[in-house]
Amino acid sequence: MEIPYLTLTIAIPIAAAILIAFWPRLPASGIKVLSLLATIVPFILSVIVFAGFDRTAGGSMQYAEKVSWIPLINANYALGVDGLSLPFLLLTTFIGFLVILISWKINLRVREYFAWVLLLQASITGVFLATDFLLFFIFWELELIPMYFLISIWGAGRREYSALKYVLYTLLGGAFILAGILILYFATGSLDIVNLINTDLTEVLKTSSLALTFVFFFLGFAIKLPVFPFHTWLPDAHTDAPTAVSVILAGTLLKMGGYAMIRINAAVFPEEALKFAPFILVLAVINVVYGGAITLKQTDIKRLIAYSSISHMGFVLLGIFALGQVSLVGASLQMVSHGVITGLLFAIVGVVMHNTHERSIPKLGGLAQQTPRTAVIFILGGLGAMAVPATSGFIAEVMVFLGAYSSGVVEGIQVFTLICLLGILLAAAYILWTVQRVFFGQPLPRFEGVHDADRVEQAFSVIFIAAMFVIGLYPRIITDVLDSGLKPIAALFGGS
C-alpha cells in the first residue's frame, strides 16, 4: 500500500489543530512542541516527495490521490503534484515549521493561536495540491477563517479593520473564482482541473463566455497576488498582523494567486491569456513601478516591506504573462525566492519591533552597534531583496527579465520588460535607505542595552538565509522541477 504523502501533509496539521483545541490539559509548552512536530513532519514528507519526483515525466501529476467524493456533481477528493506545484508544496511546509519557531514567544491565548496557525498551514497546502476545482475552492476559502482571527486577535494597531478588510477582499475574489468554476462546470460537467487543461473549451463555450470566464478567474487571483488596483488590503494586513502571520502572508499566501494564474489562466485558457496579456502586462508595470515608488515613502518599517512585496509581485506578473518557458520558470522561482527572502525580512523586523517596541523608521537608528546580529540578518535579507548575485533573488529576476525579453509571444514585451527594470533600482533605493536609517547613524540613548536576536531567532534566520543562498548558488534544485511542469504550458504559446 502506497503512503498518501500528500494527504498527510494536509491532515497532520489539521489533526494537531483539533488535538490542541480540544485537549484542555495540554500546557502551553506542549502546544508549541506539538505544533512544531505537526509542521516538521509535513516538511519532511514534502522533501521525500521532492526527492522521489520524476523530472522526466513531462508535466503529468505524480503521487496522485483520487477518491470519489460527491458523485452527483462529479466532485472528487483529488490531490497531485507536478513540476509547478511541487516547489510551492516545499515552500509552504518549509515556511510552516519556521513560523512555529517565530511564534515561540506568543503567550496570549496560546491554544487558539497555534490551532489557527496549523489550520492556515493546511489550507494553503491544499490549494497547491488540489486537482479538483471544488476541493481547490474549499481550500482557497478556508484560509480566510484563521487569517481573520489571527489578525483581529493577535494583531496590533487597527487590527479589526485590517482583518475585516482582508475578509471582504478575499470574499470578493472568491466570488469571482466561484463564478468561473460554475461557468466551466455547466459547460463541461467536469471539475477535474487536469481534464479541463486538456479540453478544447472553444468547442463548448462561446468566445465571449471564454473571455468572461478568464477575467473572472484573473480578478479572483489578482486580488490575492495582489495586482494593482486590488492591492490596498495588503499593507494594512501586513502592518497590523502578528509577525508570524506576516511571514505566512508574504511567504506562501500571496503565492496562491500567482500559482493559480499559471495553473488556470494560462493552462486552461491559453488563447484568452494571449489576448489579455498586453493589458495584464500594463498592470505588471504599474505594480513594479508604483509599488517600488510608494515603498520609498514609507516610514513604518513593516509597511515598507509590505509595499515592496507589491513591486516584487509585479515581476511575477511580468514573467507569467510574457508566456515564455524561461519567463514562466523565472516567475515561479521569483515566487519561491520572494517567499524565503520576504519571510526572513518580516521575521527579523518582528525581532526589531519586539526588542525596541518601535516600528517608525525615523525613531530608529544606530541599531547595528546595539544589535549587531539583528543588523547582519536584516542586511543579508536586504541583499536578497535587492537581487544581489549569489542570492535567490538575483537568479529569479534574471530569469524573469531574460525570459520575458526573449519570449517573442506578446507584442511589445521588450518595452514592458525594460520599464520593469526600474523596479531593481527602486528596490536598491528603499532597502539601502532603510538599512542606513535603522541600523547606522548615531546610536540612540533610549536603545542602550536593548536585546539582540536570541538563539531561536538566530536559528530561524540562519535557516532562511541558508535557503536563500542554496537557491541562489544552485538554482537547478528548483528550476529543473519547475521546467518539467511548465514546459507543456509554455508549449501552448510556442514561446522560448
In this predicted model, what pLDDT tens digit does every residue of 299-325 receive, in sequence order?
Answer: 999 999 999 999 999 999 999 999 999
Residue 364 pLDDT greater than 70, yes or no: yes
Convert the pLDDT of each residue in 259-301 to its tens digit: 999 999 999 999 999 999 999 999 999 999 999 999 999 999 9
User: Residues with Cβ < 8 Å from 487, sequence gap 6 or more?
Assistant: 58, 59, 325
The mean per-residue pLDDT over the stretch 175-183 comes to 97
Convert the pLDDT of each residue in 421-459 to its tens digit. 999 999 999 999 999 999 998 888 888 888 999 999 999
Per-residue pLDDT at 202: 84
Predicted local distance difference test score (pLDDT) of residue 112: 96
62-117: pLDDT as tens digits: 999 999 999 999 999 999 999 999 999 999 999 999 999 999 999 999 999 999 99
Give 1's pLDDT tier (boundaries 50, 70, 90): low
DSSP, collapsed to helix, strand or coil, labels residue 189 as coil
pLDDT of residue 495: 62
Top pLDDT among 415 and 444 is at 415
Give the pLDDT band (50/70/90) at residue 327: very high
Place of cell 552597534: 369
Average pLDDT along the chain: 94
The pLDDT-based confidence of 203 (bands split at 50, 70, 90) is confident
Hunting for cell 524561461 — which residue is that? 326
Taking the CB of residue 33, how many other CB atoms lie within 10 A of it? Answer: 13
Q: What is the DSSP string of 198-250?
A: TS-GGGTS-HHHHHHHHHHHHHHHHHHTT-TTS-THHHHHHHHS-HHHHHHII
pTM for the predicted model, two decimal places: 0.95
N-term to C-term CA, the chain: 41
H helices present in 357-371, as ranges: 367-370
Measured between alpha carbons, how far is residue 195 from residues 32, 139, 323 in Å?
Answer: 41, 20, 21
Q: Of 300, 163, 307, nearest to 226 (Cα)?
A: 307
